[in-house]
Structure 1
Amino acid sequence: MLTKTLLPGQRARLAALGVDARRVGRVSMVTQLIAPKNVPVPKNSDELAEMVFDTAKMAPVMKDPATLGGWIKAYGDAQQGPGTVMNREVKEQIQATVAETLREQGLDPTPRNINRLNLDPDAPQARRAKGYNPKAPGRKLDKQYQNWSDYMSTIWAGNQSMEALQARSDITKVMNSFGSTVPSDGGFLIPEALRAELLRVSLETAVVRPLARIIPMDSLTVPFPTIDATSNATSVHGGIVGYWTEEGGALTDSAPKFGRVTLTAKKLTVYSEVPNELFQDSLISLEAFMNEAYPEAISWFEDTAFISGSGVYEPLGFLNAPAAVTVPKESGQGAATVLWENIVKAYSRMLPGSLGRAVWICNIDVFPELATMALSVGTGGSAVWIGNGDGAGAPPVTILGRPVIFTEKVNALGAEGDINFVDLGYYLVGDRMAMQAETSTHSAFSTDKTAMRVIERVDGRPWIQSAITPQNSSKKLSPFVKVAVRA
């Protein structure tokens, strides 16, 4: 709802611009954004600046708030699709420029009339945008449900009000409109804004997903192309061969051999039993529960599968990748120990092109061994990783210049894969772009609890299918390197 009161001097200035003051003078109306006809939409920032400071060109745009809003939206859509961070940034900059122009020309003495967007990086809409997909099925529900408390109170099985029943019917209609695109498990489709919020929070505790290559899946099975490369000895990228040819000489054909990785969405179900009081009396606590507990659970179970999954009814983890290479232990190396040589040799087996992206992923049990490992020099030596000797301050977070991620999700100290050097850009995560939620008051009836589950469909598997033999060495290279068992 917009209310605008003009001063006498402003009416005269608007009249000089050919603007009907009655359209903006002391009116109360619902504003519908309408793009002005026959008014050019700037293609870049230079054209925008030129047009904004041209009074004649801007007069049809600023004839009323609805037209101005429509013009801003048209420019934002032209620069970047709706729903993206860039789109919001464009709109914010346009609004700021227009507001400044209006103030300079005396057309808007009260800046609060310009409704600016909040682009604070910690603002909810900015955080959601990091995982938000405007093509996801749940996007159609975003307008109805802006927070978890509204959504969960609607789908709660104990809510039998006519309003809730109608809302659940509307959600079902949205799901049905996508047909086989959204598999049915008896639950309700989660709005995309809330799904993106779940993923955003889960990224803060996840190991694999933030560094992996995310592939949106618009069907249950999606093939993804890959180059079938096994050796760089005589060719690269699975069969491309280069020839030096004399001037006018015949050219020799070469062609790469392509393969494909098939991502098949697997079903991850997160289940819990929630006291009915949270649904009845404390929706704020319920929202906090959905914003914290469920994202952490999702990231936990995703990570364990992306790291060590078998590939049977679950993702194939990088520890089980066919392309992974294993660095053997040193001769005479003790059980459950880490030597500097293990680290150096693992680094040497990484694809050279991946050295700028690779990270160390180690079990937290490995930390004492890393902190005390030494480089042997004759009968002496010195600590490698921690060198200040006084134990003050935090330990370094890199090894050989690459970040170290400590987790309990990889194998324990001494087992194969307790120390890993990996480039997760070679790991594919297929995201089905849809989650479902369902509640039941029957299974936990005797304890006055509601059984609640969230279902996600996701897959993960290594992109590269084989370790690569380098041109001038017999030791294979890979984006997935792990240290062998030391038992």
Structure 2
Amino acid sequence: MKPAHALEFKDSGEADDPIAEVAKELAALKADLETKAANDNTKLTERLDRIEAKVNRPGNKSAANDNEPRVETKALNKFLHAGVQSLDDLERKTLNLGTTTAGGYVVAPEYSTKIVEGLTQFSPLRGLASSMTIGGTEIYIPTLTGNADGGWVTETGTRPTTEPVFGQADIKTFEYAAVVPVSVQLLEDSFVDLAGFLSRHITKRFAKGESAAFIVGDGNGKPTGLMHTPGSYNQITADQDGSDLLAKLIDTFYALPSEYANVGSWLMKRETMGLIRKLADASTANRTLWSDGLANGTPATLLGRPVYEAIDMDSFVGSGSPAADTFPIAFGDYASAYQIVDRVGVAIQRDDFTGADNGIVKLRARRRVGGKPILPEAVVLIKATA
């Protein structure tokens, strides 16, 4: 069988012109290719139409044209410019308005997919001290208060009798709790994960509360802080105006026994860090006392040991007559000096029932934790005298 549109040459004896025959066959082939291409383009167009229809189905968040504002955006712009009376029924349903001071409704994802939250700062003692998890209300930790010292004896002399003296540190756990009421409709209609945000927020605020107790807690219904009884520690006295601070820092460093100093850290407020930095930079001989962290996130060092910002520490009051002594700087081995005990971590429960009549969900958060200084010899304080 002869293939379609095959070129065929006739004998020279025939009447038809061979060139004309070739031109005719080429024209037929071109027409056939154009018809086939048109059919393929039609199928492609139909496929694109089906994809576009699928994308534009209601509820598809990717359906909106980049140049066409979403209905929430248009409704919110209209509300902001002309007020609620300018909205039609659909726009009113789109913008559910609540009480501003209680969080309202988070509307229009182009405007409110992120909650702006202030910085939560807390002292770093939890990361520096020793910690353990216990299964009861309190724990007794043995402490050695007297050593079993021997003595030199002759070959047949009497050997001295000695024994170590033990004490114990009683560390109780205390509960830190909060109840956060939230509107059911706010939880349902927010474009952000509001429940997740509140859980993270509560956890950070709990961390701030416990870190303050670890530094300055009085032990009354809360942990006993590292700085609650400063008289228990060795102290180096400095002037309140900081004029002799660099020399006192060196005294403090060498007042701590080597076993503690080799793993010790400095605790102080950020403004105290600035005071030390200015004093060190003012003298060429003292610039090596302070060294900034070599990598992002690593602490600066003072006399070779890391410096941590503790917002709950005291400040230098400055010149004049301050009301009382302050203790703005601590240097020590906090893993030896302070013990943290955890009974229950941050537990958050969602209560959908007790506030249901008022459309309220209550997030109940609690934590049980304790802490107490156990070895004062592992820390030295700088006292800014009144």
TM above 0.5, one fold?
Answer: yes
What secondary structure sits across from 1:367 in the alignment?
A: helix
Paired with 1:325 and 1:220, the residues of 2 have a C-alpha distance of: 32
1:384, 1:308 → 2: CA distance?
32
What's the CA shift for 1:215? 2.7
1:210 equivalent in structure 2: 127
Distance (Å, rounded) in 2 between the aligned partners of 1:422 and 1:283: 48
Partner residue in 1 for 2:52: none
1:292-303 alignment to 2 at 5 Å?
Answer: 292-303=200-211
The corresponding residue for 1:280 is: 188
Aligned partners of 2:122 and 2:212 also within 8 Å: no
Matched, 1:429 2:340: yes
Aligned residue in 2 for 1:339: 245
Please tell me whether the aligned partners of residues 315 and 459 of structure 1 are also in contact (alpha carbons under 8 angstroms).
yes
> How many residues were matched structurally?
254
Question: In terms of Rg, which structure is larger?
Answer: 2
Amino acid at match of 1:325: N
Distance 1:375 1:486 in 2: 24
Cα distance in 2 for partners of 1:394, 1:263 equals: 33
Question: Displacement of 1:266 after TM fit?
Answer: 0.9
Deviations 1:323-373, CA, capped at 9 Å, x for gaps: 3232111xxx45255620121122122233211221101101112211111
Mapping of 1:31-430 within 5 angstroms? 207-228=124-145, 238-277=146-185, 279-281=187-189, 285-286=193-194, 288-289=196-197, 292-321=200-229, 323-329=232-238, 333=239, 335=241, 339-374=245-280, 382-385=286-289, 397-414=300-317, 416-425=326-335, 426-430=337-341
Q: Assess if the C-alpha contact under 8 Å between 1:213 and 1:427 holds in 2.
A: yes
Q: Is the 8 A contact 1:265 1:430 kept in 2?
A: yes
Q: Is the 8 A contact 2:125 2:214 kept in 1?
A: yes
Q: Deviations over 1:273-316 (max 9, x none)?
A: 33434643569714532563122112111110000111111111
Separation in 1, partners of 2:384, 2:220: 24
Paired AA for residue 240 in structure 1 = A
Instruction: Supply the AA of the counterpart residue of 2:234.
Output: V
Task: Please report the TM-score for the alignment, with normalisation by the length of structure 2.
Answer: 0.57
Please point out which of 361, 378, 382 is paired with 1:479. Answer: 378
- Alignment-derived partner of residue 146 in structure 1: none
- Percent of pairs with identical residues: 20
C-alpha distance after superposition, 1:11-34 (max 9, x if no partner): xxxxxxxxxxxxxxxxxxxxxxxx
The amino acid across from 2:158 in the alignment is: A
Query: For 1:435-446, what aligned pairs fall within 5 Å after superposition?
Result: 436-440=347-351
Change (3 A) 1:394 1:435: closer
Offset, 1:451: 3.2
Distance 1:359 1:276 in 2: 47
Distance 1:361 1:398 in 2: 11
Match of 1:74?
none
Taking structure 1 as reference, are residues 343 and 458 closer, same or farther at Cα in structure 2, changes over 3 Å only?
A: same
Flag the structure with more relative contact order, 1 or 2, with Cα contacts below 8 A and sequence separation at least 6.
2
Residues 386, 395 of structure 1: 8 Å contact kept: no
Alignment partner, residue 105 of structure 2:
none
Q: Is the 8 A contact 1:340 1:375 kept in 2?
A: no
Q: In the alignment, is the contact (CA less than 8 A) between 1:338 and 1:373 conserved in 2?
A: no
Counterpart pick for 1:459 among 359, 370, 376: 370
Q: For 1:375 and 1:341, how far apart are their aligned partners in 2?
A: 14
Contact 2:299–2:306 at 8 Å: present in 1 too?
no
- TM-score if structure 1 supplies the norm length? 0.46
Structure 2: runs of 5 or more not aligned: 1-120, 318-324
Contact (CA 8 Å) 1:338, 1:369: kept in 2 or not? no
* 1:249 positional shift: 3.9
Distance in 2 between residues matched to 1:457 and 1:394, nearest whole Å = 30
Corresponding letter in the other structure for 2:333: D
SS in structure 2 at match of 1:428: strand
